[in-house]
Amino acid sequence: MGLSIRFYLFAEDGLLAISQRVMMGLIRGQDAMPQYAGTKQKVADVILENEGKKPLRIETVQGSFLTFDDKGKVHKDLVASGFPALETGMALEEALKQPQTKIVDLTPKLNREKWERENRWTLSKDDLDAIADDIWRRKEASQPRIERAQGIAPKLLRSPTRPRRRSERSGRA
């Protein structure tokens, strides 16, 4: 059994699936979604337990926000919010390790809660049902499938991280 992750964008025009390629391009700053330029959009990260390629169960679902700049990129915002996430998480962890005293410093907990409010959101039952319907393809034939969100970076013929095979290097098929 393995794990996989899927991404969903809750846009005004409906729920959209975001491919791994587009999401990784957004994270790395190599792709953009100009249709969302200057907006803050809700996204759900869904971790699935799989057997082969078949999803068995939803392990976790986490709602977060993507803030798109004026060109439809999110990389700078992700980097900017990543540091406070790390700082508040580490400060809270360190505070919890301290021995109990009569005076309790609530600053780390309050800072972490503030970061969570600004960067996370809770999915409703309807949101979760829509995701489950897509994962297990429970939609009726009359209802349209969830569309894929589109980035502007071209699809690559091969992964930039995978080394080329000997037959690819020599030009043989």
Q: Can you tell me the distance from the alpha carbon of 90 to that of 66, in angstroms, rounded to the nearest whole number?
A: 23
Q: What is the amino acid identity at position 75?
A: H
CA distances 40 to 11, 64, 147, Å, are 10, 10, 19
**Residue 135: per-residue pLDDT:** 92
Lowest mean pLDDT among 9-13, 118-122, 167-171: 167-171
**Residue 105: per-residue pLDDT:** 77
Name the residue among 125, 135, 138 with its Cα closest to residue 48: 135
- Helices and strands (H, E) in the chain, number of each type: 5, 6
Handedness of CA 50, 128, 120, 76 (dihedral sign): positive
Q: Which residues contact 73 (CB under 8 A, 6 or more apart)?
A: 26, 29, 31, 32
- The residue behind tokens 């939803």 is 58
**Residue 155: per-residue pLDDT:** 79
pLDDT in tens, 101-139: 777 778 888 888 888 888 889 999 999 999 999 999 876
pLDDT in tens, 67-94: 999 999 998 877 777 655 667 667 767 7
Find out whether 42 and 14 touch, Cβ atoms under 8 Å: no
In 52-97, at which residue ranges do the beta strands (DSSP E only) sit? 54-67
**Residue 86: per-residue pLDDT:** 67
Find out whether 139 and 9 touch, Cβ atoms under 8 Å: no
Find out whether 147 and 16 touch, Cβ atoms under 8 Å: yes
Q: What is the amino acid identity at position 71?
A: K
Which two structure tokens, joined as six digits, stand for 78?
């992700």
